[in-house]
Amino acid sequence: MEFLWYGLSTSLCVFVVLAGWRFLRVRATGSGILFRRLPADGAHGWRHGALRYSGDGIEFYKLRSVAPAPDLRFPRTGAEVTGRREPGAAETAFMPAGVRIVELAVRDRRYELALDAQSETALTAWIESAPSARQERRFRPLDR
């Protein structure tokens, strides 16, 4: 019985450390967003989380996850903003005021992101400033 309590307390400590680490790391450096995959019906499928930009990709961290890695990654060169819209009547019930919904196409998948004005500008500028796949050159080391 004592072994069971040690196991449970150790598991709880690991969970708290992972949750704290993720909360501090992502909250301090990411933009808060709502995210869902398309196609979706009505106001279903939205997930709260944080969006972080890296040099060659976008990382999405779900709010209710304690995994140290991002829940989704999108490549920068394959991403394109395909549309914008205002939230519908059912969506305004749980979305903060002043957000716009951006449709993002990443290769063969489509997503919607609910962003505030600053995050929308940052996402658009970050995607548009990416080099095209044709311009991106890969260099081989000279010693081969």
Edge-to-edge strands, sheet with 109-115: 72-75, 57-62, 47-53, 31-38, 109-115, 100-106, 79-85
Q: Is residue 135 part of a domain?
A: no
Q: Is residue 37 part of a domain?
A: yes
Please indicate whether residue 35 or residue 135 has the higher confidence score (pLDDT).
Answer: 35
pLDDT of res. 135 = 55
Residue 33 is part of a domain; what is its CATH number?
2.30.29.30
Q: Is residue 140 part of a domain?
A: no
- End-to-end, the C-alpha distance of the chain in Å comes to 61
Q: Is residue 138 part of a domain?
A: no
- How many folded domains does the chain comprise? 1
For residue 81, give its domain range.
Answer: 2-128
Q: Report whether the peptide linkage leading into residue 141 is cis, meaning its omega lies within 30 degrees of zero.
A: no
The predicted-structure confidence for 59-115, as pLDDT tens digits, reads as follows: 898 887 777 788 889 888 888 899 999 998 899 888 988 899 999 998 889 999 999
Closest CA to 57 of 67, 68, 47, 72: 72
Q: Is residue 136 part of a domain?
A: no
